[in-house]
Chains A and B, each alone.
Chain A
């Protein structure tokens, strides 16, 4: 069991990269990049997990209850915000690529260099 969450991380990274490499459409490429990035959420939450720990919210459980690490959870939030920002900008570039070259296929875009 110990290594399974980390195997999931590796699997998500490689699946996303496979999508990027074989992508035929920039929107699809961007979605695949989101998949790659989501592996970091699994990694962060996996690293910070404490066996039997509760969520770090002491609203209905007493302070001092065994809880998972809250710092990596805060980092996961930062991660999500960065992903949203990157996605928004990449989508804007995809819109401009479509306007300028009339295609979103990366293999055809390569021919329009210069």
Chain B
């Protein structure tokens, strides 16, 4: 099929798709008129029930907690799948990063980039921790915090310090942290069963008033475990991709 034929084929299919989409959209209740009773009911109940002022976190780690276990394991599986797909193949060997084209002149990473990246490492890590540990109060949580925490490590790489990045995030440690994060979430859920409660039931004290850092019981704890799992998974994924530059086929 030539490129032109393919484009015509796509144009016809896309026109059909758009027609179907528009037809479907006309059946929706219309922008701003969401009719679902479930969300509104949660809005009424959540703060009193969970002492979490962040209702989205309350849904993720409490009402839909079981779904979020699956969601977390999607990421866990992706990181594992990535190391399987990118494993060292036969005939591949790992080389230390040596300059193989010595005549080539590479402009050094500018001091401005290095300093900016290294200066951002600390604040980024703090922001990530803050987000991962404040799921109960504000628009934050383990997933968002974890990703930002991982980007603190990637900033080290951006500063031109690949070897430091590798030293700070060794595979064995990342795997252990990832496993602890994913396992911690499930362990919190199983502990409820051990107490004759439903899986992932919120059995910790809810704190004195909604919005306190110590409020919301298991929601905050689960968010913390999700945070370290996500941070480790993303650092491992980026690390896997960066490692590829060190593989040579013999």
Contact = CB atoms under 8 A, between A and B. Distances in A.
Contacts of A7: 25
Contact of A74 (B30, B60, B72): B60
Contacts, number: 155
Contacts of A74: 56, 59-60, 64
A68 B43 CA distance: 9
Given A22-B3, A57-B54, A67-B43, A51 B33 contact: yes
A42 B169 CA distance: 35
Interface residues of A, number: 53
| Interface class of chain B by DSSP | helix
B86 A57 contact: no
Contact of B59 (A4, A64, A70, A80): A70
B43 A88 contact: no
Interface stretch (B107-115, B197-205, B236-244): B236-244
A99 B249 contact: yes
Nearest to A80: B143
Contacts of A52: 32
A89 B82 contact: yes
Given A1-B31, A82-B74, A58 B59 contact: no
